[in-house]
Structure 1
Amino acid sequence: MNHILPIAEEDWKVIKPHLSIVKFEKGEQLLCPPQICSFIAFIKSGSVRSYHMDDQLVETNLLLRSANEFITDYESFISQDPSTLWIQSIERGEAILLNRTGLYYLYETSFYWNKFGRIISEQIFINSKRRTEQLLFLSPTERYMLLLKHNPDYFQKYALKHIASYLGITPQSLSRIRNQLSKH
């Protein structure tokens, strides 16, 4: 959090009552539709994904997250409408959950946490816009190359089937792209 906004001891003290630690096993669901998302999770260890499942039970990854990253269904969290996303652990780990009631209390009572929330919201917007533009305007090969450039660690952290889904392609298409690029 200090990378986002330097934090003082008194700001830590006011958030602690609103935090809880959860441990999760590989494959455990942290959020399932139509639950309403009431948490923002900071991943201490392990990795998780958020994904959508269509009527044919095809899963499409929206986010892949691991240690020192946040995950939530932000739309459900804000609107308090039922979630349309699943959040599932990819591997065993631990997360710190901040509940919605606590966050909104902190927004009202703490300048620091209000500012922190605004910065995080801005980052979520920018990341969402970039991801939407990539899926709409870049070819699968361009999306793969961009992921390789900006997140090379994904290829050590996540199974290729999860990476393919995140890129919006089939595992077979990902294999073809990787083979074509290795020949060049």
Structure 2
Amino acid sequence: MTADTPAADRDGLLATAVRLRESGRREEAREILVSLAARLPDDVEVAYQTAWVHDTLGLEAEAVPYYVTAVSGPGLSAEERSGALLGLGSTYRALGRYPQAVATLEAASAEFPEDAALRAFLAMALHHVGRGKEGIELLLGLLATTSNDPQISAYRPAIEEYAKDLDATF
């Protein structure tokens, strides 16, 4: 905390901004968060919430530095960290920064191997860097392991085999 932003003020402002974002009043939330982030530039939680609100407003380029700060140090819960990494990787992809998207999402998927959403976004990013086969294999693996659809379940063994190598023949 800084001298002009006691912990109680920080927590109250952060909670207010999150409520505003969740209720659809994103621009008001953004104003609070940008001001708070300026006063607390190393606060990873404030940075994460500031990045998130920029993303929801379609301000991806403005979200990036906040996401970078959010994932640069300790302080986020595992759920928040995986969300921040997904947000950063997805934002890089949306901005056409495909190699950065792949690098971010590969590292995030290694850190959080159980997070299927990270792998889905990684598959999209892989497509953009010419690694589409790998992306499809990743998506097939996700489909096989996460679908409850009875028709998918019936073919799960075959789908899992193709997920290992799409070009294989059986």
Q: Calculate the TM-score normalised by the size of structure 2.
A: 0.31
**Structure with the higher strand share, 1 or 2:** 1
Q: Calculate the TM-score normalised by the size of structure 1.
A: 0.30
Larger Rg: 2
**Structure with the higher helix share, 1 or 2:** 2
